[in-house]
A and B are shown apart, each in its own frame.
Chain A
Amino acid sequence: MFSYCTDPSTLEGLSWLSCYLTTGKHMAFYQSFGIVLVLLAITAPVALMFGFAGATAARSRIWPVSLLGKSYTAIVRGVPDIAFFMFFVIALDQGFEYMRHKVKCPDWSEPVRQGNDFVVCAQAKLPLSTSPQWMHETYGFALAVLTFAIVFGAFAANVLFGAMKAVPHAQLETAEAYGMSSRQTFWRILVPQMWVYALPGLSNLWMILIKATPLLFLLGVEDIVYWARELGATKSAKFTEYPHGNWNAYYFGGLLVFYLMLTSISERVYKRLSLRLSHGQATAAGEAQRKAAT
Protein backbone atom coordinates (compact mmCIF):
# COMPACT_ATOMS: atom_id res chain seq x y z
CA MET A 1 0.00 0.00 0.00
CA PHE A 2 2.56 2.57 1.14
CA SER A 3 5.94 2.90 -0.57
CA TYR A 4 7.88 2.08 2.58
CA CYS A 5 6.14 -1.26 2.97
CA THR A 6 8.46 -3.24 0.70
CA ASP A 7 10.43 -4.75 3.58
CA PRO A 8 8.24 -4.83 6.70
CA SER A 9 10.88 -6.64 8.79
CA THR A 10 12.86 -3.39 9.03
CA LEU A 11 9.88 -1.40 10.21
CA GLU A 12 8.73 -0.78 13.74
CA GLY A 13 5.86 0.68 15.67
CA LEU A 14 3.34 2.76 13.82
CA SER A 15 4.83 2.44 10.37
CA TRP A 16 4.84 -1.36 10.73
CA LEU A 17 1.26 -1.26 11.89
CA SER A 18 0.22 0.98 9.03
CA CYS A 19 1.70 -1.52 6.57
CA TYR A 20 0.25 -4.49 8.42
CA LEU A 21 -3.24 -3.05 8.49
CA THR A 22 -3.23 -2.33 4.77
CA THR A 23 -2.28 -5.75 3.39
CA GLY A 24 -4.55 -7.30 0.79
CA LYS A 25 -5.86 -9.64 3.42
CA HIS A 26 -6.88 -6.78 5.69
CA MET A 27 -8.60 -5.06 2.79
CA ALA A 28 -10.68 -8.20 2.34
CA PHE A 29 -11.42 -8.05 6.06
CA TYR A 30 -12.67 -4.46 5.81
CA GLN A 31 -14.76 -5.33 2.77
CA SER A 32 -16.42 -8.15 4.67
CA PHE A 33 -17.91 -5.59 7.07
CA GLY A 34 -19.65 -4.09 4.07
CA ILE A 35 -20.85 -7.52 2.99
CA VAL A 36 -22.40 -8.15 6.40
CA LEU A 37 -24.13 -4.76 6.40
CA VAL A 38 -25.44 -5.23 2.87
CA LEU A 39 -26.71 -8.67 3.81
CA LEU A 40 -28.57 -7.23 6.78
CA ALA A 41 -29.96 -4.38 4.73
CA ILE A 42 -31.33 -6.72 2.06
CA THR A 43 -32.36 -9.63 4.26
CA ALA A 44 -34.38 -7.68 6.82
CA PRO A 45 -36.99 -6.28 4.38
CA VAL A 46 -37.15 -9.52 2.39
CA ALA A 47 -37.65 -11.55 5.57
CA LEU A 48 -40.34 -9.11 6.64
CA MET A 49 -42.07 -9.64 3.30
CA PHE A 50 -41.90 -13.41 3.77
CA GLY A 51 -43.23 -12.96 7.28
CA PHE A 52 -46.06 -10.75 6.15
CA ALA A 53 -47.02 -13.18 3.42
CA GLY A 54 -46.82 -16.08 5.88
CA ALA A 55 -48.95 -14.34 8.49
CA THR A 56 -51.55 -13.23 5.97
CA ALA A 57 -51.70 -16.74 4.56
CA ALA A 58 -52.08 -18.25 8.02
CA ARG A 59 -55.08 -15.97 8.68
CA SER A 60 -56.71 -16.78 5.41
CA ARG A 61 -60.21 -18.21 5.38
CA ILE A 62 -59.29 -20.45 2.47
CA TRP A 63 -58.19 -23.66 4.10
CA PRO A 64 -55.23 -24.72 1.89
CA VAL A 65 -53.71 -21.23 2.01
CA SER A 66 -53.97 -21.07 5.76
CA LEU A 67 -52.48 -24.56 6.05
CA LEU A 68 -49.58 -23.44 3.84
CA GLY A 69 -48.91 -20.38 6.00
CA LYS A 70 -49.15 -22.33 9.22
CA SER A 71 -46.95 -25.19 8.09
CA TYR A 72 -44.34 -22.74 6.78
CA THR A 73 -44.01 -21.08 10.19
CA ALA A 74 -44.19 -24.36 12.09
CA ILE A 75 -41.73 -26.35 10.02
CA VAL A 76 -39.07 -23.72 9.40
CA ARG A 77 -39.06 -22.57 13.01
CA GLY A 78 -38.59 -26.14 14.16
CA VAL A 79 -35.54 -26.94 12.02
CA PRO A 80 -32.19 -26.03 13.63
CA ASP A 81 -30.50 -23.13 11.82
CA ILE A 82 -27.30 -25.00 11.26
CA ALA A 83 -29.12 -27.89 9.58
CA PHE A 84 -30.98 -25.41 7.46
CA PHE A 85 -27.79 -23.71 6.39
CA MET A 86 -25.86 -26.91 5.74
CA PHE A 87 -28.43 -28.93 3.83
CA PHE A 88 -31.21 -26.69 2.65
CA VAL A 89 -28.86 -24.42 0.74
CA ILE A 90 -27.18 -27.30 -1.04
CA ALA A 91 -30.62 -28.67 -1.90
CA LEU A 92 -31.77 -25.26 -3.14
CA ASP A 93 -28.67 -24.91 -5.28
CA GLN A 94 -29.16 -28.40 -6.69
CA GLY A 95 -32.82 -27.63 -7.34
CA PHE A 96 -31.91 -24.59 -9.45
CA GLU A 97 -29.26 -26.54 -11.32
CA TYR A 98 -31.64 -29.42 -11.92
CA MET A 99 -34.22 -27.10 -13.47
CA ARG A 100 -31.60 -25.53 -15.72
CA HIS A 101 -30.30 -28.95 -16.60
CA LYS A 102 -33.76 -30.05 -17.78
CA VAL A 103 -34.11 -26.95 -19.92
CA LYS A 104 -30.61 -26.66 -21.33
CA CYS A 105 -29.56 -30.26 -21.83
CA PRO A 106 -32.64 -32.26 -22.83
CA ASP A 107 -30.49 -34.84 -24.64
CA TRP A 108 -28.45 -35.73 -21.60
CA SER A 109 -28.71 -39.49 -21.04
CA GLU A 110 -26.79 -40.03 -17.82
CA PRO A 111 -28.60 -39.85 -14.49
CA VAL A 112 -28.24 -36.68 -12.43
CA ARG A 113 -27.68 -38.63 -9.24
CA GLN A 114 -24.71 -40.97 -9.54
CA GLY A 115 -24.13 -42.51 -6.15
CA ASN A 116 -23.19 -39.62 -3.92
CA ASP A 117 -22.57 -37.30 -6.82
CA PHE A 118 -24.85 -34.69 -8.23
CA VAL A 119 -23.96 -34.30 -11.89
CA VAL A 120 -25.55 -31.86 -14.30
CA CYS A 121 -24.26 -30.82 -17.71
CA ALA A 122 -21.64 -28.08 -17.78
CA GLN A 123 -24.08 -25.53 -19.26
CA ALA A 124 -26.46 -26.02 -16.36
CA LYS A 125 -23.93 -25.28 -13.66
CA LEU A 126 -24.85 -22.34 -11.50
CA PRO A 127 -22.87 -20.21 -11.94
CA LEU A 128 -20.92 -21.73 -14.84
CA SER A 129 -17.55 -23.03 -13.76
CA THR A 130 -16.03 -20.65 -16.29
CA SER A 131 -17.64 -17.56 -14.84
CA PRO A 132 -15.41 -15.27 -12.79
CA GLN A 133 -15.09 -15.66 -9.06
CA TRP A 134 -17.20 -12.60 -8.26
CA MET A 135 -20.15 -14.26 -9.92
CA HIS A 136 -19.76 -17.30 -7.72
CA GLU A 137 -19.59 -15.02 -4.74
CA THR A 138 -22.66 -13.07 -5.78
CA TYR A 139 -24.56 -16.29 -6.31
CA GLY A 140 -23.50 -17.55 -2.89
CA PHE A 141 -24.57 -14.25 -1.43
CA ALA A 142 -27.99 -14.41 -3.12
CA LEU A 143 -28.49 -17.93 -1.79
CA ALA A 144 -27.55 -16.65 1.65
CA VAL A 145 -30.09 -13.82 1.46
CA LEU A 146 -32.80 -16.22 0.34
CA THR A 147 -32.03 -18.72 3.10
CA PHE A 148 -31.86 -16.07 5.81
CA ALA A 149 -35.11 -14.60 4.51
CA ILE A 150 -36.90 -17.95 4.60
CA VAL A 151 -35.67 -18.76 8.12
CA PHE A 152 -36.28 -15.34 9.63
CA GLY A 153 -39.45 -14.89 7.62
CA ALA A 154 -40.95 -17.85 9.47
CA PHE A 155 -40.24 -16.24 12.82
CA ALA A 156 -41.48 -12.89 11.57
CA ALA A 157 -44.66 -14.56 10.31
CA ASN A 158 -45.37 -15.86 13.77
CA VAL A 159 -44.72 -12.45 15.32
CA LEU A 160 -46.96 -10.69 12.79
CA PHE A 161 -49.65 -13.35 13.14
CA GLY A 162 -49.74 -12.65 16.87
CA ALA A 163 -49.68 -8.89 16.29
CA MET A 164 -52.63 -9.09 13.91
CA LYS A 165 -54.57 -10.97 16.55
CA ALA A 166 -53.63 -8.40 19.19
CA VAL A 167 -55.38 -5.55 17.40
CA PRO A 168 -58.60 -4.98 19.42
CA HIS A 169 -61.48 -6.71 17.73
CA ALA A 170 -63.73 -3.71 18.32
CA GLN A 171 -61.63 -1.77 15.82
CA LEU A 172 -62.33 -4.30 13.08
CA GLU A 173 -66.02 -4.48 13.94
CA THR A 174 -66.29 -0.71 13.80
CA ALA A 175 -64.64 -0.74 10.39
CA GLU A 176 -67.17 -3.27 9.17
CA ALA A 177 -69.98 -1.23 10.65
CA TYR A 178 -68.77 1.68 8.55
CA GLY A 179 -69.17 -0.52 5.52
CA MET A 180 -65.55 -1.33 4.76
CA SER A 181 -64.89 -4.49 2.81
CA SER A 182 -62.70 -7.08 4.47
CA ARG A 183 -59.81 -6.07 2.23
CA GLN A 184 -60.21 -2.43 3.27
CA THR A 185 -60.46 -3.42 6.91
CA PHE A 186 -57.27 -5.40 6.58
CA TRP A 187 -55.17 -2.72 4.89
CA ARG A 188 -56.59 0.41 6.51
CA ILE A 189 -57.39 -0.73 10.03
CA LEU A 190 -55.57 -3.91 10.90
CA VAL A 191 -52.15 -3.45 9.27
CA PRO A 192 -51.48 0.11 10.46
CA GLN A 193 -52.36 -0.85 14.02
CA MET A 194 -50.56 -4.16 14.27
CA TRP A 195 -47.00 -2.81 13.95
CA VAL A 196 -46.89 -1.52 17.47
CA TYR A 197 -47.66 -5.00 18.75
CA ALA A 198 -45.18 -6.61 16.38
CA LEU A 199 -42.32 -4.27 17.13
CA PRO A 200 -40.84 -5.94 20.25
CA GLY A 201 -40.85 -9.32 18.54
CA LEU A 202 -39.41 -7.93 15.33
CA SER A 203 -36.66 -6.08 17.15
CA ASN A 204 -35.68 -9.34 18.83
CA LEU A 205 -35.51 -10.99 15.43
CA TRP A 206 -33.36 -8.19 14.08
CA MET A 207 -30.89 -8.65 16.93
CA ILE A 208 -30.78 -12.39 16.34
CA LEU A 209 -30.31 -11.80 12.63
CA ILE A 210 -27.31 -9.58 13.35
CA LYS A 211 -25.76 -12.31 15.42
CA ALA A 212 -26.56 -15.00 12.89
CA THR A 213 -24.47 -13.44 10.13
CA PRO A 214 -21.38 -15.58 10.92
CA LEU A 215 -23.37 -18.49 9.48
CA LEU A 216 -22.51 -16.86 6.16
CA PHE A 217 -19.23 -18.71 6.00
CA LEU A 218 -21.10 -22.00 5.88
CA LEU A 219 -22.45 -20.74 2.57
CA GLY A 220 -19.02 -19.89 1.22
CA VAL A 221 -19.33 -16.15 1.82
CA GLU A 222 -16.33 -14.87 3.73
CA ASP A 223 -17.72 -12.81 6.56
CA ILE A 224 -16.07 -10.78 9.31
CA VAL A 225 -15.75 -13.69 11.73
CA TYR A 226 -13.98 -15.80 9.13
CA TRP A 227 -11.45 -13.07 8.42
CA ALA A 228 -10.97 -12.23 12.10
CA ARG A 229 -10.19 -15.87 12.80
CA GLU A 230 -7.89 -16.09 9.82
CA LEU A 231 -6.04 -12.84 10.60
CA GLY A 232 -5.84 -13.49 14.32
CA ALA A 233 -4.32 -16.95 13.88
CA THR A 234 -0.64 -17.44 14.66
CA LYS A 235 1.54 -16.45 11.72
CA SER A 236 5.06 -17.82 11.52
CA ALA A 237 7.75 -15.87 9.73
CA LYS A 238 8.03 -18.48 7.01
CA PHE A 239 4.69 -17.74 5.43
CA THR A 240 4.14 -14.05 5.98
CA GLU A 241 6.04 -10.82 6.08
CA TYR A 242 4.18 -9.89 9.23
CA PRO A 243 4.74 -12.72 11.73
CA HIS A 244 2.81 -12.55 15.00
CA GLY A 245 1.42 -14.77 17.72
CA ASN A 246 -2.21 -15.54 18.34
CA TRP A 247 -3.95 -12.19 18.00
CA ASN A 248 -7.49 -13.51 18.11
CA ALA A 249 -8.23 -11.41 21.18
CA TYR A 250 -7.58 -8.15 19.30
CA TYR A 251 -9.55 -9.10 16.23
CA PHE A 252 -12.46 -10.53 18.13
CA GLY A 253 -12.33 -7.52 20.44
CA GLY A 254 -12.78 -5.40 17.32
CA LEU A 255 -15.74 -7.50 16.26
CA LEU A 256 -17.22 -7.11 19.72
CA VAL A 257 -17.11 -3.35 19.36
CA PHE A 258 -18.64 -3.58 15.89
CA TYR A 259 -21.52 -5.78 17.01
CA LEU A 260 -22.16 -3.70 20.13
CA MET A 261 -22.26 -0.54 18.04
CA LEU A 262 -24.67 -2.17 15.65
CA THR A 263 -26.98 -3.30 18.43
CA SER A 264 -26.82 0.03 20.24
CA ILE A 265 -27.77 1.89 17.07
CA SER A 266 -30.57 -0.63 16.54
CA GLU A 267 -31.79 -0.01 20.09
CA ARG A 268 -32.02 3.70 19.42
CA VAL A 269 -33.85 3.23 16.14
CA TYR A 270 -36.20 0.83 17.89
CA LYS A 271 -37.05 3.38 20.58
CA ARG A 272 -37.86 6.05 18.04
CA LEU A 273 -39.92 3.67 15.94
CA SER A 274 -41.90 2.48 18.89
CA LEU A 275 -42.59 6.06 19.94
CA ARG A 276 -43.77 6.88 16.48
CA LEU A 277 -45.94 3.80 16.04
CA SER A 278 -47.63 4.27 19.42
CA HIS A 279 -48.88 7.64 18.28
CA GLY A 280 -52.67 7.70 18.32
CA GLN A 281 -52.93 3.99 19.16
CA ALA A 282 -55.38 2.51 21.60
CA THR A 283 -52.54 1.16 23.75
CA ALA A 284 -51.10 2.26 27.09
CA ALA A 285 -48.15 3.91 25.36
CA GLY A 286 -50.46 5.70 22.93
CA GLU A 287 -52.67 6.81 25.80
CA ALA A 288 -49.66 8.17 27.70
CA GLN A 289 -48.63 10.16 24.62
CA ARG A 290 -52.11 11.56 24.27
CA LYS A 291 -52.18 12.63 27.90
CA ALA A 292 -48.74 14.22 27.70
CA ALA A 293 -49.85 16.25 24.69
CA THR A 294 -52.87 17.74 26.35
Chain B
Amino acid sequence: MKKLIVSTAALALTAGFALADDTVRLGTEGAYAPWNFVNDAGEIDGFERELGDELCKRAELTCTWVKNEWDSIIPNLVSGNYDAIIAGMSITAERDEVIDFTQAYTPPDPSAYAAMSADVDPAGGVVAAQATTIQAAFVAEQGWTLVEFATPEETVAAVKNGEADAVLADKSFLDTMVGADGLVMLERMEQIGGGVGMGIRESDGDLRAKFDAAIQSMKDDGTLNTMIAKWEVASQW
Protein backbone atom coordinates (compact mmCIF):
# COMPACT_ATOMS: atom_id res chain seq x y z
CA MET B 1 0.00 0.00 0.00
CA LYS B 2 2.79 2.35 0.95
CA LYS B 3 4.58 1.57 -2.27
CA LEU B 4 1.48 2.40 -4.26
CA ILE B 5 0.98 5.72 -2.56
CA VAL B 6 4.61 6.59 -3.03
CA SER B 7 4.54 5.72 -6.72
CA THR B 8 1.33 7.68 -7.22
CA ALA B 9 2.91 10.62 -5.49
CA ALA B 10 5.97 10.26 -7.69
CA LEU B 11 3.75 10.26 -10.74
CA ALA B 12 2.06 13.35 -9.41
CA LEU B 13 5.34 15.17 -8.87
CA THR B 14 6.73 14.37 -12.30
CA ALA B 15 3.49 15.72 -13.72
CA GLY B 16 4.22 19.00 -11.98
CA PHE B 17 6.93 20.41 -14.21
CA ALA B 18 4.72 22.31 -16.61
CA LEU B 19 3.99 25.92 -15.75
CA ALA B 20 0.55 26.90 -14.63
CA ASP B 21 -0.56 28.38 -17.90
CA ASP B 22 -4.34 28.53 -17.87
CA THR B 23 -5.89 25.69 -19.78
CA VAL B 24 -9.62 25.49 -19.38
CA ARG B 25 -11.08 22.01 -19.36
CA LEU B 26 -14.58 21.74 -20.75
CA GLY B 27 -16.71 18.83 -19.61
CA THR B 28 -19.49 17.39 -21.75
CA GLU B 29 -21.52 14.22 -22.03
CA GLY B 30 -20.95 13.29 -25.66
CA ALA B 31 -24.24 11.44 -26.11
CA TYR B 32 -26.77 14.13 -26.93
CA ALA B 33 -26.84 14.93 -30.64
CA PRO B 34 -27.02 17.57 -32.01
CA TRP B 35 -25.75 19.32 -28.86
CA ASN B 36 -22.75 17.12 -28.21
CA PHE B 37 -21.84 13.71 -29.50
CA VAL B 38 -18.85 11.60 -30.44
CA ASN B 39 -18.17 11.62 -34.16
CA ASP B 40 -16.79 8.83 -36.36
CA ALA B 41 -13.24 9.80 -35.53
CA GLY B 42 -13.97 9.40 -31.82
CA GLU B 43 -13.83 13.13 -31.12
CA ILE B 44 -16.42 15.32 -29.44
CA ASP B 45 -18.49 17.09 -32.04
CA GLY B 46 -21.75 19.00 -32.33
CA PHE B 47 -23.20 22.42 -31.60
CA GLU B 48 -21.49 22.76 -28.25
CA ARG B 49 -18.11 21.66 -29.57
CA GLU B 50 -18.23 24.40 -32.17
CA LEU B 51 -19.64 26.91 -29.70
CA GLY B 52 -17.12 26.04 -26.99
CA ASP B 53 -14.17 26.34 -29.34
CA GLU B 54 -15.41 29.71 -30.58
CA LEU B 55 -16.04 30.99 -27.04
CA CYS B 56 -12.54 29.96 -25.99
CA LYS B 57 -11.10 31.76 -28.99
CA ARG B 58 -12.97 34.93 -28.14
CA ALA B 59 -12.05 34.73 -24.47
CA GLU B 60 -8.44 33.95 -25.47
CA LEU B 61 -8.35 30.73 -23.50
CA THR B 62 -6.77 27.41 -24.34
CA CYS B 63 -9.45 24.78 -24.00
CA THR B 64 -9.48 21.01 -23.94
CA TRP B 65 -12.47 18.68 -23.96
CA VAL B 66 -13.35 16.06 -21.39
CA LYS B 67 -16.08 13.46 -21.55
CA ASN B 68 -17.98 12.72 -18.36
CA GLU B 69 -21.09 10.76 -17.57
CA TRP B 70 -24.17 12.92 -17.08
CA ASP B 71 -24.94 11.54 -13.61
CA SER B 72 -21.66 12.70 -12.11
CA ILE B 73 -21.11 15.77 -14.26
CA ILE B 74 -21.78 18.31 -11.48
CA PRO B 75 -19.83 16.54 -8.67
CA ASN B 76 -16.79 16.32 -10.94
CA LEU B 77 -17.03 20.02 -11.76
CA VAL B 78 -17.13 21.15 -8.14
CA SER B 79 -14.27 18.85 -7.22
CA GLY B 80 -12.19 20.46 -9.95
CA ASN B 81 -11.77 17.70 -12.54
CA TYR B 82 -12.75 20.20 -15.22
CA ASP B 83 -13.60 23.87 -15.20
CA ALA B 84 -16.87 24.24 -17.08
CA ILE B 85 -19.85 22.13 -18.08
CA ILE B 86 -21.08 22.64 -21.61
CA ALA B 87 -23.53 19.80 -22.07
CA GLY B 88 -26.96 21.12 -23.01
CA MET B 89 -27.59 21.83 -19.35
CA SER B 90 -30.70 23.91 -18.66
CA ILE B 91 -30.37 26.64 -16.10
CA THR B 92 -32.52 25.73 -13.10
CA ALA B 93 -32.77 27.16 -9.60
CA GLU B 94 -31.91 23.78 -8.13
CA ARG B 95 -28.64 23.46 -10.04
CA ASP B 96 -27.89 27.12 -9.46
CA GLU B 97 -27.59 26.42 -5.76
CA VAL B 98 -24.67 24.10 -6.38
CA ILE B 99 -22.93 25.72 -9.34
CA ASP B 100 -23.11 28.99 -11.25
CA PHE B 101 -24.27 29.46 -14.80
CA THR B 102 -23.17 31.84 -17.52
CA GLN B 103 -25.91 33.64 -19.37
CA ALA B 104 -27.92 31.31 -21.56
CA TYR B 105 -26.58 30.58 -25.03
CA THR B 106 -29.85 29.15 -26.31
CA PRO B 107 -33.27 30.58 -25.46
CA PRO B 108 -35.66 28.57 -23.29
CA ASP B 109 -37.31 26.10 -25.62
CA PRO B 110 -40.23 23.82 -24.94
CA SER B 111 -39.55 20.14 -24.35
CA ALA B 112 -41.35 17.69 -26.61
CA TYR B 113 -42.72 14.17 -26.40
CA ALA B 114 -42.06 11.34 -28.80
CA ALA B 115 -44.17 8.18 -28.87
CA MET B 116 -45.04 5.31 -31.16
CA SER B 117 -48.33 6.86 -32.23
CA ALA B 118 -49.57 10.44 -32.36
CA ASP B 119 -52.62 9.88 -30.14
CA VAL B 120 -50.70 8.83 -27.01
CA ASP B 121 -51.56 10.94 -23.98
CA PRO B 122 -48.51 11.30 -21.74
CA ALA B 123 -50.61 12.39 -18.77
CA GLY B 124 -51.35 9.30 -16.76
CA GLY B 125 -49.09 7.16 -18.91
CA VAL B 126 -45.55 5.97 -18.37
CA VAL B 127 -43.05 8.62 -19.42
CA ALA B 128 -39.33 8.06 -19.95
CA ALA B 129 -36.76 10.77 -19.27
CA GLN B 130 -33.05 10.99 -18.63
CA ALA B 131 -32.17 10.96 -14.94
CA THR B 132 -31.48 14.30 -13.23
CA THR B 133 -32.83 16.39 -16.08
CA ILE B 134 -35.48 19.11 -16.01
CA GLN B 135 -37.73 16.72 -17.94
CA ALA B 136 -37.47 14.02 -15.27
CA ALA B 137 -38.20 16.59 -12.59
CA PHE B 138 -41.21 17.81 -14.55
CA VAL B 139 -42.73 14.34 -14.98
CA ALA B 140 -42.21 13.58 -11.32
CA GLU B 141 -43.88 16.85 -10.36
CA GLN B 142 -46.95 16.02 -12.42
CA GLY B 143 -47.30 12.78 -10.52
CA TRP B 144 -47.12 10.65 -13.68
CA THR B 145 -45.22 7.41 -13.77
CA LEU B 146 -41.61 8.25 -14.53
CA VAL B 147 -38.98 5.83 -15.77
CA GLU B 148 -35.47 7.25 -15.68
CA PHE B 149 -32.43 6.21 -17.70
CA ALA B 150 -28.79 7.17 -17.52
CA THR B 151 -28.44 8.05 -21.21
CA PRO B 152 -30.76 9.77 -23.72
CA GLU B 153 -30.47 6.82 -26.09
CA GLU B 154 -32.01 4.49 -23.52
CA THR B 155 -35.03 6.76 -23.00
CA VAL B 156 -35.87 6.49 -26.68
CA ALA B 157 -35.22 2.74 -26.72
CA ALA B 158 -37.67 2.36 -23.81
CA VAL B 159 -40.45 3.85 -25.93
CA LYS B 160 -39.57 1.69 -28.92
CA ASN B 161 -39.70 -1.51 -26.91
CA GLY B 162 -42.91 -0.53 -25.12
CA GLU B 163 -41.49 -0.02 -21.66
CA ALA B 164 -42.69 3.59 -21.71
CA ASP B 165 -45.57 5.25 -23.56
CA ALA B 166 -43.68 8.40 -24.39
CA VAL B 167 -40.32 10.07 -23.90
CA LEU B 168 -39.93 13.68 -22.78
CA ALA B 169 -36.76 15.43 -23.91
CA ASP B 170 -35.43 18.53 -25.64
CA LYS B 171 -37.19 18.91 -28.97
CA SER B 172 -33.91 19.25 -30.87
CA PHE B 173 -32.72 15.89 -29.58
CA LEU B 174 -36.00 14.15 -30.44
CA ASP B 175 -35.86 15.71 -33.91
CA THR B 176 -32.87 13.52 -34.60
CA MET B 177 -34.73 10.45 -33.38
CA VAL B 178 -38.26 10.65 -34.80
CA GLY B 179 -39.03 9.11 -38.16
CA ALA B 180 -37.07 5.94 -37.46
CA ASP B 181 -38.90 2.79 -36.33
CA GLY B 182 -42.30 4.53 -36.27
CA LEU B 183 -41.41 7.07 -33.63
CA VAL B 184 -43.48 10.27 -33.92
CA MET B 185 -43.48 13.63 -32.18
CA LEU B 186 -46.59 14.50 -30.15
CA GLU B 187 -48.20 17.89 -30.52
CA ARG B 188 -48.17 18.54 -26.81
CA MET B 189 -45.13 20.43 -25.54
CA GLU B 190 -44.03 21.56 -22.12
CA GLN B 191 -42.57 24.98 -21.41
CA ILE B 192 -39.89 24.06 -18.88
CA GLY B 193 -36.35 25.20 -18.23
CA GLY B 194 -34.68 28.56 -18.49
CA GLY B 195 -32.40 28.26 -21.46
CA VAL B 196 -29.12 26.43 -21.69
CA GLY B 197 -25.94 27.84 -20.22
CA MET B 198 -22.45 26.80 -19.21
CA GLY B 199 -21.99 25.52 -15.68
CA ILE B 200 -19.07 27.03 -13.77
CA ARG B 201 -17.87 26.57 -10.18
CA GLU B 202 -19.28 29.23 -7.85
CA SER B 203 -15.78 30.20 -6.77
CA ASP B 204 -14.70 30.75 -10.36
CA GLY B 205 -16.19 34.20 -11.01
CA ASP B 206 -13.40 35.27 -13.38
CA LEU B 207 -13.98 32.40 -15.76
CA ARG B 208 -17.71 32.97 -15.69
CA ALA B 209 -17.22 36.65 -16.57
CA LYS B 210 -14.96 35.72 -19.48
CA PHE B 211 -17.42 33.23 -20.94
CA ASP B 212 -20.32 35.59 -20.27
CA ALA B 213 -18.61 38.30 -22.29
CA ALA B 214 -17.78 35.87 -25.08
CA ILE B 215 -21.37 34.64 -25.28
CA GLN B 216 -22.59 38.24 -25.32
CA SER B 217 -20.25 39.10 -28.19
CA MET B 218 -21.50 36.10 -30.16
CA LYS B 219 -25.07 37.16 -29.52
CA ASP B 220 -24.31 40.71 -30.62
CA ASP B 221 -22.69 39.88 -33.94
CA GLY B 222 -25.21 37.18 -34.83
CA THR B 223 -22.75 34.30 -35.02
CA LEU B 224 -24.58 32.49 -32.24
CA ASN B 225 -27.84 32.56 -34.22
CA THR B 226 -26.04 31.22 -37.30
CA MET B 227 -24.59 28.40 -35.24
CA ILE B 228 -27.96 27.57 -33.68
CA ALA B 229 -29.53 27.45 -37.13
CA LYS B 230 -26.74 25.27 -38.49
CA TRP B 231 -27.15 22.60 -35.81
CA GLU B 232 -30.92 23.10 -35.36
CA VAL B 233 -30.64 22.97 -31.59
CA ALA B 234 -33.00 25.73 -30.54
CA SER B 235 -34.98 28.78 -31.55
CA GLN B 236 -33.21 32.01 -32.47
CA TRP B 237 -32.37 34.84 -30.10
Question: A residues within 8 Å of B by Cβ?
Answer: 23-25, 27-28, 46, 49-50, 53, 86, 90, 93-94, 96-97, 100, 104, 114-123, 125-131, 133, 135-136, 138-139, 142, 146, 149, 217-218, 220, 222, 229-230, 233-234, 236, 238-242, 245-246, 248
Interface core residue of A24, A117, A119, A248 (most chain B CB under 10 Å): A117
B42 to A236, Cβ gap below 8 A? Answer: no
A146 to B40, CA, bound (A): 33
Query: Is B69 a contact of A218 with CB atoms below 8 Å?
Result: yes
Since A25-B38, A93-B81, A139-B15 are in contact, a sample of 13 more A-B pairs with Cβ atoms closer than 8 Å, ordered by chain A residue number, is A49-B1, A115-B203, A116-B99, A122-B20, A122-B22, A123-B16, A130-B19, A138-B11, A142-B8, A142-B11, A217-B69, A220-B68, A245-B180
Number of contacts between A and B (CB, 8 Å)? 140
- State whether A24 touches B67 (Cβ < 8 A): no
Q: Which 7 A-B pairs have the closest CB atoms?
A: A24-B41, A122-B20, A24-B42, A25-B42, A233-B153, A114-B203, A117-B203
User: Which residues from chain B sit less than 8 Å from chain A, CB to CB?
Assistant: 1, 4, 8-9, 11-12, 15-16, 18-25, 30-31, 33-34, 37-43, 45-46, 62, 64, 66-69, 72, 75-76, 78-81, 83, 98-99, 151, 153, 156-157, 160, 176-177, 180-181, 201-204
| Alpha-carbon distance between A104 and B23 when the two chains are bound, in angstroms | 19
Which listed residue (A28, A97, A129) contacts B25, Cβ 8 A?
A: A129
Q: 23 A–B contact pairs at CB < 8 A?
A: A28-B42, A90-B75, A90-B76, A115-B203, A117-B201, A119-B80, A119-B201, A119-B203, A120-B80, A123-B20, A129-B25, A130-B19, A130-B62, A131-B15, A131-B18, A142-B11, A146-B4, A149-B4, A218-B69, A229-B153, A230-B38, A239-B37, A240-B40
Q: Which residue of B lies closest to A150 (CB)?
A: B1
> Which residue of A25, A117, A131, A135 is within 8 Å of B41 (Cβ)?
A25
> For residue B79, which residues in chain A have a CB less than 8 angstroms away from its CB?
90, 93-94, 118
B41 and A50 within 8 A (CB): no
